Structure 1
Amino acid sequence: MPFWRKKRQARHGGTKDSNQEAAAKGNKAGPSSASNPEHASGDASLSRRLDRIQQQLDLCSDVIYRQFVLGTGQACVLIYLRGMISQPSVQNFIMRSLQAEAKELEGDDIYRFLLDDKGLAVSQNKVVTDLNAALDAVLDAGALLIVDGDPRMLTFSISAYPTRSVSEAPNESVIRGPREAFIEDLEINLTLLRRRLKNINFKCEALKVGTETKTDIVVAFIRDVAKPGMVDEVKRRLSYIDIDGVLGASYLEEAIEDNPYSPFPQMQYTERPDVVAASLLEGRIAIIVDGTPIVLLIPVTLSMLLQSAEDYYQRFVAATWIRWIRYIFVLVSLLLPSLYIAITTFHPEMIPSQLLYTLAASREIVPFPALLEAFIMELAFEALREASIRIPKAIGQAVSIIGALIIGTAAVEAGIVSAAMVIIVSLTGIASFIIPHFDLGLAFRLLRFPIMFLASLFGLYGIACGLILIYIHLINLRSFGEPYMAPLAPLVNSDLKDTLVRAPWWHMRKRPPLTTKNHTRQTNDSRGWAKKKGEGN
């Protein structure tokens, strides 16, 4: 059971001891300005505040302390992290203004000058009095100004750390679609979404998660499209996360999903801004994490995970055909080795005579049963696939292809496996790469092994039992309360136009009803011009 659900149950029906324990845990939270007199606000001494900051940031060689005198004669210090802020901005827009342009001001007017539009040419600044807040601003790529004799402190947001440039998505490439992909910078990722959603109802709520990393995350949604209850549920689950650090979106995914023990992913991840924008327009919610190019989309269904961005940039006839091919090979990746084991072991009468003679001749020198033979080849293929990921890219592809050819050929010649099994495993491996979502493909790869075991024990009956168990699990699975098998179970006829087929855009007038409160996608028929033209003729 996820911990957010345990905490919800404890909140509504917990015992007295558990409530006292929760209260004690809340009292042991991080120090605040009220409980920690060392960080109490109101101290106007520059030297004392500087000593406290230096004690907190000791053994930090990248912290810069620039002490100087203002034009008013007041001593001050500017604190920032080397490499995290823009040095030209510090020198040209802060230092020069403070030293040269504030000569005629009185001491009590210095902050009026600093916050005035005619003062510092830095737009994002904030006055703080709590030393904890000041330290957080420094660690969050900001600059901190402390003036002697004034308890207020001023923080500047002039971050300029190195980031990766926007490039093409390496794992979700398309032929006709846009080439932009998310990067590790949160602000740039939000900008990529803003370019596509020029709407006042596009909302981005910022949160911080991680007691040590204090990672910035954003919950993005379209207010007049997304369900308010779904947005509140996402924020509620995120509020329960109590971890030292969040270094990627997967940290949040494992913490807030409905069933953490299911092999099937209950959230969709993507690195494409157009996919996120399209999902938001359907009423779904995006979780954007600073420091990772991966964005989480919730809720999700099995049919969504089997869709590709390419489906919506090709003509609907071709996209429907490709989608059918994808569904067929999903079944191939799950069942082909099991069907081979079941038929050759229990049901040889189902095989044509000529093919049966060929299979029997190829298996005559193989010393292992079909199950062990399939396990050996599947594990070897999984090892080659994992090795191709870890090997450097310059030689990874060559090593994986040559390794597969050499191992397969040598295994057949040595009589360890049959040639038919090599073909079966190769087709299964190719089919698993057709699945657009990597985690979903991994789930089918994991389920392939227990179904192979059932096929070796009970034949086709065992395969049928395994499929029934998987189907029961999928029927009961939920993604943030929404059915995982929708719109097939429960059946939603209006959504079938974007499940088994990809209907043309002018025909998809409604949004998915399970994920949105605003069902209207388009009010008029986009092909209305053709009807009017026909009427005119």
Structure 2
Amino acid sequence: MRFFRKSIKEKLDKFNPTSSKGNLLNANVSTNEQMLRDQFALCNDVEFRSIPIDEYSKILLVYIDGFCDTKALDESVLKPLIFEGITRKLEQIKTISELIRLQLLPVAKVKLVTTVSEVVDEVLMGNVAFLIDGESIALIAELQSLEKRGIEEPLSETVIRGPRDGFTETLRVNTSLIRRRIRSPKLKIESLSIGEYTKTSVEILFIEGIAKDSIVEEVKKRIGQIKIDSVLGSGYLEDFIEDVPFSPFPQIQNTERPDVVCASLLEGKVAIVVDNTPFVLIVPMTFWSGLQAAEDYYERSVYMTFIRWIRFTLLNIALLFPSFYVAITTFHQQLIPTNLLISVAAAREGVPFPGVIEALMMEFMFEGLREAGIRLPKPIGSAVSIVGALVIGQAAVQAGIISAPMVIVVATTGIASFGIPRYNLGFAYRLLRFPILVLAGMLGFYGIVIGVVSILIHLINLRSFGVPYLSPVAPLSKGGFKDIFIRAPRWSMNERPGMVQQNKQRIPEGQMPSVNRGSEKK
């Protein structure tokens, strides 16, 4: 053992000449234990276990009960240390820590740290720290054991045809789902830790050679500048890194689907994976990506082109239908056919409120029912929202407070808003519906035009990580139209869409199926 102490002292004098400075670990394990106990004061779940080596030395294990894999700790660490000892091959080993690292720790990941703060951080991550008497370093063995949810189908992005796996709250499971689909060393993953207290792991994913370096560096810069006490979900980061915080339109896409993330990475975008949340952020986001669903790329192009046109129609209905109804019944009755005008007038007879107040009341009620259906427990949420809408709507019409055509208009608008694939983009349209409705009640069609033009001006000037929000439509890029208003066949989308990649070529030309291919084989 004297040989060990001499070699340790010589090595430490070279490695750490200023061991008394700062919060570096001490060569005395009892001193290190006291410093760690001070750090973990009143933390009853932190375990300190001392194992004597001989009459001169001991090994101290520090871990959190319930956070590390105690079964692996018993089998891989404690059993060899207690029953097998450290007497083997002493002539090849110069330090006790090296002996443990090379001989007695069958653990995939082992590393050395030199400061108390590093030991504290590693223990709080679920790892086990080994402090050896006579050495001012600590050995860290990754023996995390976290309870985690199984991989399930995402509830917010269901598909008829497509993969059924979704992200979970475990960071490494999420990155493995992405790596499983993109098996290339060019998929880069860079790690950060954010949050003074939570120290949440955040990883930035991009494909080298496809993603623009300027966008990758901008993402790293914005995330690296965040100073916050806690990060409990990806939404915490979203507030700090978006370009225009007060815009109603989302500038960062979030998804629970690994295939959506992989498709975005292959287009040159950057993904941000945050620990403890199943929602992965994708930047930059464009307006058109908010209207695209995962299933668009698993069905035939003819079908999906038709569905996309239905979505564009529903988008306009969700934004303008109540405003159009209020404007045409209040200011522009001459545009309504006579028979329809008589029917609407008869339905509105006896209604005490003007059209705009009537519409606002119904819209607020519909949004309240929608929110109640989401927040209530699942077994009763849908029942309350459906029964509430039927009962309140029917009662309001019979009482003469609301006209029947207004109920139809608001219900149609609500159904149309459900046709927008991305929830956050749909929320933007639900929010903008109210100011346009007020403008329509004040100025008629002129108010609607003012509202729509204002929204278009805002969208044209909006940026997401420097990329125009309406690209490739504004600025115009003809190649991008193959995946905007239509969903072209896969073999015809030769270039990656948008302005975020440095390698545009995606599919070689000349792969269109031949009409006479079957007859040629014969």
Residue 257 of structure 1 is matched in structure 2 by 242
| Residue pairs, 1:83-122, within 5 angstroms | 83-104=66-87, 108-116=94-102, 118-122=103-107
Distance 1:216 1:313 in 2: 33
Q: Percent identity?
A: 45
State the Cα distance separating 1:109 from its structure 2 match.
2.9
Q: Is the 8 A contact 1:85 1:160 kept in 2?
A: yes
Give deviations 1:463-519, integer Å, cap 9, x for gaps: 011100000000000000000011111111000000000001011111125010001
Q: In the comparison of the two structures, how many residue pairs are matched?
A: 504
Q: Is the 8 A contact 1:337 1:374 kept in 2?
A: yes
Q: Is the 8 A contact 1:125 1:155 kept in 2?
A: yes
Residue 182 of structure 2 is matched in structure 1 by 197
State the Cα distance separating 1:100 from its structure 2 match.
3.0
- SS of 1:291's equivalent in the other structure is coil
Residue 263 of structure 2 is matched in structure 1 by 278
Distance 1:307 1:190 in 2: 23
Distance 1:407 1:282 in 2: 47
- SS of 1:76's equivalent in the other structure is strand
- SS of 2:281's equivalent in the other structure is strand
Q: Is the 8 A contact 2:492 2:509 kept in 1?
A: no
Structure 1 residues 148 and 512: alpha-carbon distance in aligned structure 2, compared to 1, 3 A threshold: same
Is 1:165–2:150 an aligned residue pair? yes
State the Cα distance separating 1:65 from its structure 2 match.
1.2
Residue 343 of structure 1 is matched in structure 2 by 328
Is 1:132–2:110 an aligned residue pair? no
Q: Is the 8 A contact 2:63 2:127 kept in 1?
A: yes
Structure 1 residues 76 and 115: alpha-carbon distance in aligned structure 2, compared to 1, 3 A threshold: closer
| Residue pairs, 1:422-461, within 5 angstroms | 422-461=407-446
Give deviations 1:154-184, integer Å, cap 9, x for gaps: 0111101101000001000001100000000
Which stretch has the larger CA shift, 33-42 or 222-231?
33-42
State the Cα distance separating 1:35 from its structure 2 match.
12
Q: Is the 8 A contact 1:72 1:104 kept in 2?
A: no
Structure 1 residues 212 and 37: alpha-carbon distance in aligned structure 2, compared to 1, 3 A threshold: farther
Structure 1 residues 198 and 355: alpha-carbon distance in aligned structure 2, compared to 1, 3 A threshold: same
Residue 207 of structure 1 is matched in structure 2 by 192
State the Cα distance separating 1:47 from its structure 2 match.
1.1
State the Cα distance separating 1:298 from its structure 2 match.
0.5
Q: Is the 8 A contact 1:201 1:223 kept in 2?
A: yes
Residue 406 of structure 1 is matched in structure 2 by 391
Which stretch has the larger CA shift, 525-534 or 389-398?
525-534
Structure 1 residues 135 and 458: alpha-carbon distance in aligned structure 2, compared to 1, 3 A threshold: same
Give deviations 1:174-199, integer Å, cap 9, x for gaps: 01100000000000001100110000
State the Cα distance separating 1:317 from its structure 2 match.
0.5
Residue 368 of structure 2 is matched in structure 1 by 383
Distance 1:402 1:536 in 2: 60
Distance 1:276 1:347 in 2: 47
Give the aligned residue type for 1:110. Answer: I
Give the aligned residue type for 1:76. Answer: I
Match of 1:51 among 29, 34, 42: 34
Structure 1 residues 354 and 176: alpha-carbon distance in aligned structure 2, compared to 1, 3 A threshold: same
| Residue pairs, 1:292-307, within 5 angstroms | 292-307=277-292
Structure 1 residues 509 and 220: alpha-carbon distance in aligned structure 2, compared to 1, 3 A threshold: same
Segments of structure 2 that go 5 or more residues without pairing to the other structure are 1-15
Distance 1:34 1:468 in 2: 69
Is 1:365–2:350 an aligned residue pair? yes
- SS of 2:31's equivalent in the other structure is helix
TM-score normalised per structure 1: 0.91
State the Cα distance separating 1:74 from its structure 2 match.
2.5
Give deviations 1:336-358, integer Å, cap 9, x for gaps: 00000000000011111111111
Is 1:154–2:126 an aligned residue pair? no
Which stretch has the larger CA shift, 122-131 or 287-296?
122-131
Match of 1:233 among 205, 213, 218: 218
Distance 1:189 1:415 in 2: 54
Residue 520 of structure 1 is matched in structure 2 by 505
Distance 2:512 2:482 in 1: 17
Q: Is the 8 A contact 1:71 1:102 kept in 2?
A: no
Q: Is the 8 A contact 1:71 1:99 kept in 2?
A: no
RMSD across aligned positions (CA): 1.9
Give deviations 1:428-460, integer Å, cap 9, x for gaps: 000111111111111111111110111111111
- SS of 1:434's equivalent in the other structure is coil
Give deviations 1:261-299, integer Å, cap 9, x for gaps: 100000110000000000000000000000000000011
Give the aligned residue type for 2:64. Answer: L
Give deviations 1:352-396, integer Å, cap 9, x for gaps: 111111111111110000010001100000110111111100111
State the Cα distance separating 1:83 from its structure 2 match.
1.1
